[in-house]
Amino acid sequence: MRLFYFFILLLFLYTPFSSITSIFTDIPNNVETNLQYFSDKSYETAVTTTTSPDETEMTFYANQVPLKQIQAANETRKKVVPGGESIGIQLQSTGVVVVGHHELDGKNVTSPAKQANIRVGDIILSMNDEKIKDINEIPTIVEKSAAKNKNIAVTLKRNGKEISTNVKPVKNKKENKYQIGLYMKNASSGIGTITFYDPTTKKYGALGHTVNDAATNKPVNIHDGKIVLSNVTSIKKGNKGIPGEKKATFSMKQDKLGNVVKNSPFGIYGTLNDTLLKNEEPLDIAFAHEIEKGPAEIWTVIEKNKIEKFDVEILHASKQPFKATKGIVLKVTDKRLLDKTGGIVQGMSGSPIIQNGKIIGAVTHVFVNDPTSGYGVHIEWMLEEAELTMKEKNDAA
């Protein structure tokens, strides 16, 4: 027995203490990653035993002495199909959005709604307990209240809080009808680029940033939305201090490409119809810590509906432990793209960024003072917004 302990002591003396310590600190207790994680580690021996279709037991040795045992999940990296398509977007807001006031030529020349403290950016949810889904519903409610000489009970949302007020209709003599003095809208539209879609669930992500209402500069609180393919007709080239933009045409009477169910700081999300389900091979996604400074490419459309690949350089990638925007800084290096657009332009938002055969993120913003450069968002945050996991369990054999 003494000989056994003496032999063990010799083994430990033969192994530098620092190396044993480093192995203990280097091996995590719980691993949820592909087993490739350990391929570059300098352990003398790592013995793996498959304990179930979903888990592998790993025992690490140094000088034949077992140091640590862990359970590693058998998982593969999520694959999605890169986008690049130019799309037209239409978002229907919940209720109608106040975008301005107008004065009435009646007993009171000011706007009745303004007097009732209804402000630009407010969302009108209901009038006289009737939910408002369309602007065209409002004139009828106004006329009915005016006929009874009653105020209209208005419920609106402002900065996330519901507010109640009353507004009295006033007759506009020029138009010979009762009004409340508001300009309103319940739809916002624009163009952008699809970043990815999941061929299994048909979920997609686009833009990489929120859609704000042009009149209020506030995020559109969507009730419904849809996307269609758009056709890029021309490019307004960007210059220092003046961002460029894609000019594109689309019609909401076209076949719907997909719906929009979420408008978030990380883009718009929904489910595609079969129209876009192309034969393009899915690509692995990249984690933030895997992004490297150096060459990459973006996929986008600058003419008609042809997706093209253009060279960019990754200048910086933040190792963001929590969801945040603008995690990537990139610079356009492609001569043809620079000649055509001046760099990053409006309408490129959502263009997928590819590096080393993996999707790393999406273009989101341009630097106003340097249109050749801009920001991107990490793909992992977009997948999380789409409720897609970054990893998938391996199928059991």
Distances 141 to 57, 108, 130, 146, 194 between C-alpha atoms, Å: 69, 20, 9, 9, 40
User: Which residues are registered as beta bridge partners of 84?
Assistant: none
Tell me, which fold does domain 103-180 have in CATH? Pdz3 Domain (2.30.42)
Q: What single-letter DSSP state applies at residue 212?
A: B
H/E stretch holding 262: strand 262-264
Identify whether 234 is a catalytic site residue.
no
Active-site choice (111, 188, 198, 209): 209
Distance CA 265, CA 235 (A): 26
pLDDT in tens, 236-271: 999 999 999 999 999 878 888 999 999 999 999 999
Distance CA 158, CA 246 (A): 33
Q: What single-letter DSSP state applies at residue 16?
A: -
Identify whether 316 is a catalytic site residue.
no
Residue with tokens 């199928």: 395
| Tokens read off for 206 | 């686009």
| Tokens read off for 54 | 């979903």
161-199: b (≥16 Cβ within 10 Å) or e: eeeebebbbbebeeeeebbbbbebbbbbebbbbbbbbbe
Tell me which residue of 162, 139, 161 sits closest to 152, measured CA to CA.
Answer: 139
List of residues 6+ apart from 141 with CB closer than 8 A: 127, 128, 130, 152
| Tokens read off for 8 | 């063990």
Top-tier CATH class for 77-95+186-391: mainly beta
| Tokens read off for 127 | 């009038």
* pTM of the predicted protein model: 0.74
| Cβ(35)–Cβ(73) below 8 Å | no
Active-site choice (349, 351, 373, 378): 349
Tell me which residue of 199, 146, 196 sits closest to 169, measured CA to CA.
Answer: 146
Tell me which residue of 6, 2, 10, 41 sits closest to 23, measured CA to CA.
Answer: 41
Distance CA 332, CA 84 (A): 16
Active-site choice (334, 365, 373, 378): 334
Distance CA 114, CA 135 (A): 18
Strand, helix or coil at 181?
A: coil
Q: Give the other-Cβ count within 10 Å of 84's Cβ.
A: 21
| pLDDT tens across the length of the chain (397 residues) | 555 555 554 444 444 433 333 333 333 444 333 444 444 444 445 555 555 555 556 666 555 666 566 665 555 789 999 999 999 999 988 889 898 998 887 555 679 999 999 999 899 999 999 999 888 899 999 999 999 999 999 999 998 899 999 999 998 888 889 999 999 988 888 999 999 999 999 999 999 999 988 777 888 888 889 999 999 999 999 999 999 999 999 987 888 899 999 999 999 999 998 766 666 789 999 999 999 999 999 999 999 999 999 999 999 999 888 899 999 999 999 999 999 999 999 999 999 999 999 999 999 999 999 999 999 999 999 999 999 977 654 443 3
Identify whether 349 is a catalytic site residue.
yes
In Å, how far from its chain's centre is CA 287?
16
Per-domain residue ranges of the chain: 2-75, 77-95+186-391, 103-180
